[in-house]
Structure 1
């Protein structure tokens, strides 16, 4: 009787994280008729909710990041996916089932888990960065750009996000300094062409930030060092926007799951980790590139693989 009670409360799949990878997994899990719950501690959508424009999602030539989030979310809700707003504090693997522990102590039992916690903005680690966070230092142009309308800002980075947000800020700020440690950008060619053509953007290449200066009102300037000549100079600015990559949010990855040296989860082609029944998708998973379309694909693959895993487990249990 106890086992039946436990089985009735058990999920086929628990998805941890509500970004594109997690929501995509939710869609495919519901289509596979799995008893599924998605747990997200904040607003569903992940990093794309902070993106002004998305121009590289196949089939949609241009869409706002928040709007695309809503499309993912509404699609998942169409299949009646259970979505709980809560924080997962740990994922505990087991032999018969896995447990997901929520803030407050509630324990959920499940046959399989898809980890989709995403990533977080990488910090520069320079003096003044953390002290001035929220007082002129930001990691999200679409969140905070409004506060710098008509002012001067510094953008740090050379990838797609840095270029996209420099272009976004150039539309509302008087001047944008784009600081990059190399002499060429890593971002896509089309974005580079737009940056080069924008008169309000001044390139500061082969350079890094050494220091962020501030007064009682917030950021007042930065010290920039040329990595080739080691010469430094000061740039007066009202704000600093930092886009130097992301780190995987791997705090919930259980012990025993294989990760690479950078902290990304290593999986097979099914997005399954080294622990059976536990899958990793999106920005936390080791792969060649992090793009929305790849995160969505991860979610699809992991959900289909999880469905097969759970069906196999149930069939084996029925034969015993």
Structure 2
């Protein structure tokens, strides 16, 4: 096991249930300075686990473990932290409670403060749902978070994004083996179908026109659809995917007791210096959404990632896009 567990005890959740014996899985990279001022928090994304974030961590990069203490908390529902797949009865499998961004970030804050005694964070950054958690950190803890860099994400899930996720959900739950979430063997047909649905959204039209899947080692379009997309989702647990999908669809940094649904107020509360990086060709977190959000944030700029990799510009597969993100992070960390 290359990660640690922070036991949270019984946690009352935002939507009314209590997550008993809640567990937050996390991994750290680097060492905490004596003054505890070198902290970076880097949350995970939809279905991702801590090791899926490691492409952005390394010597000479912005997230350099020789300089910073990097904490990667695993999102609730991702199979390592408390999830449908590892929670005992009665809240197991399809009875796993609804988890919000507010729940996730509140528990991550407990990890950072209770486990490590940290009072300020140099940077919070993340991709996709990790970006949503980044924005949530920024508005909930404005005096603690000095900088944020959400990439390929949003502060509130847009209606079109919700519709896309309905397609993912429908593909998965149409498999008879899903059995309302009480499956004994994985609903592999549904998981393969999710991969096919996602393939059309995660990457842009020019990506496919230019056959850039060849750069990832695939020999044909069908090879890419089966080898990459179906293979990707066959490794995942269906109930875990659906739990995180619910969190994503209900993503809204203002939907909590602090901001009571006032989205502009939540954006305005983000005091951190921010570089917000949408991908130019992202089909479900479009640039325009981030531009509007940034216009309501006091110390932010919108810096789109150019190119044709769409949402996966932030996934670590494109070296050019990785350099773009890393350069922005270095610039941000260099600002006082």
Given the two structures, how large is their TM-score scaled by the length of structure 1? Answer: 0.33
More helix by share: 2
Query: Which of 1 and 2 has greater Rg?
Result: 1
Higher RCO structure (Cα 8 Å, ≥6 apart): 1
Given the two structures, how large is their TM-score scaled by the length of structure 2? Answer: 0.32
